[in-house]
Amino acid sequence: MRDDMAPTLCAEAADAMKAVDGTRLLASLRDLATHGQRPDGGVAREALSEAELAARRWLVSSLQGPHYGWYIDDAANLMVRRAGQQSLPPVMTGSHIDTQPIGGWLDGAYGVMAGLEVLRALDDAGIRTLRPIDVVAWTNEEGCRFSPGTMGSSAFAASRRLNGFLEVRDATGQSFAEARDAARQCTPQADAMPLGYPVRAYIEAHIEQGPVLQDGGHTLGIVTGIQGVRWFEVIVKGMSAHAGTTPLGVRQDALLSAARLVAELSATAAAAEDPDLRWTVGRFQAMPGSVNTVAEQVAFTVDMRHPDDRVLDRLEARLTAAVNDRPGPCTGRLRTLMRRQPTHFDADVLRVVEHAARLTGTPHRRLVSGAFHDAMHLSDVCPAAMLFVPSVGGVSHHPAEDTPAADLVAGARALAGALTSLACS
Ligand SMILES: [Zn+2]
C-alpha cells in the first residue's frame, strides 16, 4: 500500500480540517497578544504575571458552552475539555501562553489558540468525537521568571516535582506557590483537576523558532523528537604571576591553556561536519581578571546538543579526555551541570500528524526540534508528537517573531485533522 493511501485518519477528520476558520484563528491570536502588548509589537507576558493572569481570564471567558468545562491543576496548568461521547482518557493539545520578558506574539500562544480553533471548528462541523479533547495552557514554560522552565508540564508528568517548584522565588521574592494561588483565584470558573491524569495522546503545535522550514520552502514540520542536551563546566587551573616580571616560558597561564582547549574542542566538533550537532562555549571567565596578572584559573561552559545520544557520548568522551590529559603545566577538571536525553516522539502519532499535514496540500517535512518544549515531558507519560509552522527569518523570543498567516492556518488545519482522528477511536 502506498504510504499516502494509509487509512490513518477517521472520516470526520477532513470535515474538521475544512471547518477551521483562519480569520477567527488570527483574530484570537491578536486578541491574546493585547495582554502584555508592547509598543514595538512584542509581548511581555511572563509566567503568572498580571498580564498572564488577565490572559487566563480572557481565555476562560472566550470559550464557554454546555459541552465545555474549564479546569486548573496544582501547577496552575489551565485546560478546557470538550466532552466526548464517552468519558475515555482525552486526546490533548496545547502549549503555553507565558513569554520571555520581551517576547513575540506567537511562540507558545500559537499552540493554545490553534487548539481552541480546533474545538470551535468541531462545533461548527457538528462533530462529536468519541473521546474528549483537552486544550491546555501549561504554566511557566519559559522559565525566565521562575526557574526552571516547563514547570507545569514537568509537574504534570511527575507530580513529585511540584513540591520543589513551589519554593522557587522570582527576582522580587514572590514564590511560585503564591503566584500559583493567585492564578487559581483569578479563574474561579475553573474546577480543580489532578495532575497527571491519563491522556490518550498529545500533540503540540508550535512555531519552529529556527530557519529550517522557511529555508526549505516548507509550511509544516512533523517533529520527530527533541535533541538531547548536556551542559558542562570546565575549570582550568594554573598559577597567577606578575605580568611584568614573569618570563613567558615559565608561566602556568590558565587562560592560554583554556583558550587552546576551547579552540581544539571546537575544531573537533566542526570537523565532524554533522549538521545536527550543536556545540557552544557560552561563558568564559578568567580569575582574578586583572590586566596585569597571569590568570590563575578559568571557568568555561560547554553546551552540546544532538538528537542521537551516542554522538553526545563520543563527544563527551573527547571532552573528558582533553580536560583530564592536558599537556603543559595547567590542570583541568570537568563537572556536569545538566543532562537531558533526546526525546523520540511516538511513531503512530507522527504518522497521523503527517497524514493530516499531507491533506492540507502544503509542503511539509520531518525535523528534530532544537529547543525544549512541554511535549518533551508529555512524551514521558503518553504517545506524543509536535507540529511546527515556520518562523520568519528563524526569529523568536523577539518582537519581530512572525509566521505567514497562511502557514498559521495550515498548521491549525493539520492539527484539527490529527486531533479529530485520534479522538475518534
Ligand atoms: Zn514556546
Q: Do you find a cis peptide bond into 148, omega within 30 degrees of 0? A: yes
Cα–Cα distance list, 396 to 32, 99, 157, 425 (Å)? 17, 10, 26, 36
Question: 124 C-alpha vs ligand 1 centroid, how far in Å?
Answer: 29
Q: For residues 232 and 37, what is the distance between their CA atoms, to the nearest angstrom?
A: 37
pLDDT tens track for 319-378: 999 999 887 899 999 999 989 999 999 999 999 999 999 999 999 999 999 999 999 999
- Residue 154 Cα to ligand 1 midpoint, Å, equals 14
Q: How far is the CA of 107 from the centre of ligand 1 (A)?
A: 5
DSSP H helices, 100-198, are: 107-125, 151-157, 162-166, 176-186
Place of cell 480546533: 118
How far apart are alpha carbons 235 and 252 in whole angstroms? 14
Residue 111 CB-half CA count within 13 A: 30
Ligand 1 midpoint to CA 90 (Å): 23
Task: Tell me, in angstroms, the distance from the centre of ligand 1 to residue 108's CA.
Answer: 4
Q: Confidence band (pLDDT; 50, 70, 90) for 7? A: low
Query: Residue 1: pLDDT band by 50, 70, 90 thresholds?
Result: very low
The answer to whether the CB of 113 falls within 8 A of the CB of 25 is yes
What does the pLDDT look like over 54-95, one tens digit per residue? 999 999 999 999 999 999 999 999 999 999 999 999 999 999
Q: How many Å lie between the centroid of ligand 1 and the Cα of residue 250? A: 51
CB 116 within 8 A of CB 62: yes
Percent of the chain residues topping a pLDDT of 90? 96
Q: What is the mean pLDDT of the chain?
A: 96
- Distance from the alpha carbon of residue 319 to the mean position of ligand 1, in angstroms: 31
Ligand 1 centroid distance, CA of 373 (Å): 6
| CA distance between the termini of the chain | 22
How many whole angstroms from 374 Cα to the centroid of ligand 1? Answer: 8
Q: Which residues surround ligand 1, an ion (CB under 5 A)?
A: 107-108
Residue ranges of alpha helices (H) inside 73-160 are 107-125, 151-157
